[in-house]
Amino acid sequence: MKQSTAADARSSASMSRNRSTSGLSREQMLELYYYMRLTRSLEERLVNLYRQTKVVGGLFRSLGQEADAVGSAYALDRSKGDILSPLIRNMGSMLVQGATPLEVIRQYMARGDSPTRGRELNIHFGDLVRGFIGQISHLGDMVPVMAGVTLSFKMRGEDRVGLVYVGDGATSTGAFHEGINFAAVQRCPLVVVVENNGYAYSTPLSKQTAARELKDKAVGYGIAAEQADGNDVIATYEATKRAVDRARSGGGVTLVELITYRRKGHAEHDNQSYVPPGEIDKWEKTNDPIDRYIQVLSKDFAVDKTELESIDSRVKSEIDDATDEAEKSPMPEPKDALVGVYADPPEEKPLWFREGVRAAVEVNERPASWGTHDG
């Protein structure tokens, strides 16, 4: 069911698209390519680090979804102070807002100088100055938060827009419902991007919702809807741009459904046994967002191979440099764990049995296993 919906959207989106309306310069078109390539290559580097056991926790990929994250974020205006909040497959959107490969790698490697100082995992980090707020694991929670962020824009009369990403799965949560409804009532300058990649962990869209299309949910909230082929970066940009413009001009909330496909598992450990045979292959061969964009760039904009190759090599060297730098980063000091729960006091006191001990594990840890079984 998912496949045909996506295929239909893809064909109708490309038929109706008028490229001249995007208003993007050639330079911007190449920048979109750069961010998509950076997203993919950085994740590939993280896979290498994961296999070397240098990534401490799980690894989340957005393979095949780079266009929707990059194209949608690109519709925001960083010079105006627009803010977004990504979900786990939107690293590309964070890169557009200025997150760096070094930050991402340090974060995955749990280093002491990572953006969260080793407290949080993967791309769960943010920066209000550059305009992105880190997500938490609880899905949908960022929708009410971004309702509040954009409510403050409205209250202060600021010319700023907010954008929040959720997946198809998060549309089933109470937080999504309450957040989008409140933002709609308040006519907040908020864009809610629903990234429909067909699966929430193992759960296909048909078990997530009985709605015919996720964009239909907008009707019930009394807000505008857009839908685009999420594997077409320009279509994604254009649909999101319309929503951003609507928000900025006082038109309130828009739900933007971007249709794409999750080619990797929920996280690196997931073997995708639940996916029908051939489905992933088909998307990889016929609907890769980067391959498709290269076609567009070369056919319609006369971008030649060497130009793209030079971007690719720039991306590679940026990632190489970031990896080298991150490998040199220190792990946090154990007692850093005590810092930052409150503004005042700035630091918790160590428990009495830890006084004078740098870390308990230095004294007597870690047994191979507990109990009777070495798992």
Partner 1 sequence: MAEITYLEAIREALFEEMDRDENVFCLGEDIGVYGGAFKVTEGLQAKFGEKRVIDTPISEIAIIGAAAGAAHMGMKPVCELQFIDFISCGYDMLTNYVATARYRAMLPCPMVVRGPSGGYVRGGPFHSQNPEAAFLHTPGLKMVYPSTASDAKGLLKAAIRDEDCVLFFEHKYLYRRIKEEMPAGDHVVPIGKARVAREGTDVSIITYAATVWKSLEAAAELEKEGISVEVIDLRSLAPMDDEAIVATVKKTNRVLIVHEDTRTGGVAGEITARINELAFEWLDAPILRVTAVDVPLPYSPPLEDYVLPQTADIVKAVRRLAAY
> Residue from 85, 97, 208, 287 that binds partner 1 (CB under 8 A)?
208
> Residue from 21, 28, 48, 202 that binds partner 1 (CB under 8 A)?
202
Question: Which is nearer to partner 1, 41 or 203 (by Cβ)?
Answer: 203
Site string for partner 1, 21-60 (x = CB under 8 A): -----------------------------------xx---
User: Least distance to partner 1 from the beta carbon of 269, Å?
Assistant: 10
- In 98-223, which residue ranges form alpha helices assigned H by DSSP? 101-108, 142-155, 174-185, 205-208, 217-221
Q: How far apart are CA 373 and CA 375, in angstroms?
A: 6
Q: How far apart are CA 265 and CA 61, in angstroms?
A: 8
Q: What angle do CA 159, 160, 161 make, to 5 degrees?
A: 135
What 3-state class would DSSP assign to 112?
coil
* Concatenated DSSP letters of 302-350: ---HHHHHHHHHHHHHHHHHHHHHHHHSPPPPGGGGGB-S-SSSSBPPP
> Residue from 89, 111, 242, 262 that binds partner 1 (CB under 8 A)?
111
Question: Which is nearer to partner 1, 18 or 369 (by Cβ)?
Answer: 369
Stretch that binds partner 1, among 1-9, 32-40, 223-231, 347-355 (CB under 8 A): 347-355
Q: How far apart are CA 290 and CA 268, in angstroms?
A: 21
- CA nearest neighbour of 70 among 302, 313, 312, 290: 290
> Residue from 30, 185, 294, 331 that binds partner 1 (CB under 8 A)?
331
User: Least distance to partner 1 from the beta carbon of 208, Å?
Assistant: 5
Question: Which is nearer to partner 1, 128 or 136 (by Cβ)?
Answer: 136
User: Least distance to partner 1 from the beta carbon of 121, Å?
Assistant: 4
- Using CB under 8 A as the binding rule, whether residue 350 contacts partner 1 is answered as yes
- Using CB under 8 A as the binding rule, whether residue 372 contacts partner 1 is answered as yes
- Using CB under 8 A as the binding rule, whether residue 203 contacts partner 1 is answered as yes
Q: Bridge partners of 259?
A: 196, 229
User: Which distant-in-sequence residues (6+ apart) come within 8 Å of 114 by Cβ?
Assistant: 103, 106, 107, 125, 329
Q: Which of residues 212-271 bind partner 1 (CB under 8 A)?
A: none
- Using CB under 8 A as the binding rule, whether residue 110 contacts partner 1 is answered as yes
Question: Which is nearer to partner 1, 39 or 135 (by Cβ)?
Answer: 135
Both tokens assigned to 301: 């904009």
- Using CB under 8 A as the binding rule, whether residue 118 contacts partner 1 is answered as yes
Measured over the CA atoms of residue 182, residue 187, residue 190 and residue 194, the dihedral's sign is: positive
* Pairing outcome for strands 224-229 and 254-259: parallel
> Residue from 59, 95, 121, 315 that binds partner 1 (CB under 8 A)?
121
Cβ atoms 218, 248 nearer than 8 A: no
Half-sphere exposure of 358 (CA within 13 A, CB side): 4
Q: What is the largest CA-CA distance in the chain?
A: 69
Stretch that binds partner 1, among 194-202, 224-232, 240-248, 297-305 (CB under 8 A): 194-202
User: Least distance to partner 1 from the beta carbon of 87, Å?
Assistant: 12
Cβ atoms 290, 40 nearer than 8 A: yes
Stretch that binds partner 1, among 21-29, 33-41, 107-115, 189-197 (CB under 8 A): 107-115
- Using CB under 8 A as the binding rule, whether residue 351 contacts partner 1 is answered as yes
Instruction: Give the interface with partner 1 as residue ranges (CB under 8 A).
Output: 56-57, 110-112, 116-121, 124, 136-140, 169-170, 172-175, 200-203, 207-209, 273-274, 331-338, 341, 348, 350-351, 353-354, 357, 359-361, 363-365, 367, 369-375
